[in-house]
């Protein structure tokens, strides 16, 4: 009979966690597109042309644009497509600081070292969908005098 001490139990538990996490990512190939399914059922479609499908919440405020997905926060490259997306998002905002759910295709790249901001940025190439925010799902923080 093998006696298992606490250190061995911890090692076995850690190994089991690593195996489960490693097996959790589900990859499928359909029509030359790769679908990567992450946590919270976010689907990121990586196509042969280098575009990535991102679903998240978008905000443009004070000369900064951000796209927040369940797994990552991206700085958005400010260009004509970003202004087009912001124009669509403005239709659904009640406050200037509201984030609006969007679906876009873009190119993800690391931010240049000499720039401030999020480690990754996305350049929008295609706007697929802009929807009204769920008022019950948003936490609203208002700064002002009472």
Q: Taking the domains of the chain in order of start, what are their residue ranges? A: 30-130
Q: What is the pLDDT of residues 42-91, one digit of tens each?
A: 444 444 468 999 999 999 998 899 999 999 999 999 999 999 999 999 99
| Token reading at 135 | 């008022």
pLDDT in tens, 107-145: 999 999 988 889 999 999 999 999 999 877 655 544 555
d(CA 43, CA 73) in angstroms, rounded, equals 15
Please provide the CATH number assigned to the domain covering 30-130.
2.40.50
pLDDT at 5: 58
């Amino acid at each position: 009979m093998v006696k298992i001490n606490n250190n061995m139990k911890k090692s076995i538990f850690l190994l089991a966690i690593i195996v489960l996490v490693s097996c959790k990512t589900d990859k499928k190939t359909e029509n030359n597109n790769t679908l990567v399914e992450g946590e919270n059922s976010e689907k990121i479609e990586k196509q042969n042309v280098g575009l990535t499908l991102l679903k998240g919440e978008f905000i443009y405020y004070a000369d900064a644009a951000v796209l927040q997905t369940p797994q990552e926060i991206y700085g958005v490259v400010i260009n004509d497509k970003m202004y087009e997306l912001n124009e669509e998002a403005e239709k659904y905002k009640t406050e200037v600081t509201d984030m609006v759910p969007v679906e876009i295709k873009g190119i993800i790249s690391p931010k240049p070292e000499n720039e401030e901001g999020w480690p990754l940025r996305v350049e929008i190439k295609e706007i697929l969908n802009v929807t009204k925010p769920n008022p019950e799902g948003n936490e609203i923080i208002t700064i002002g005098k009472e």
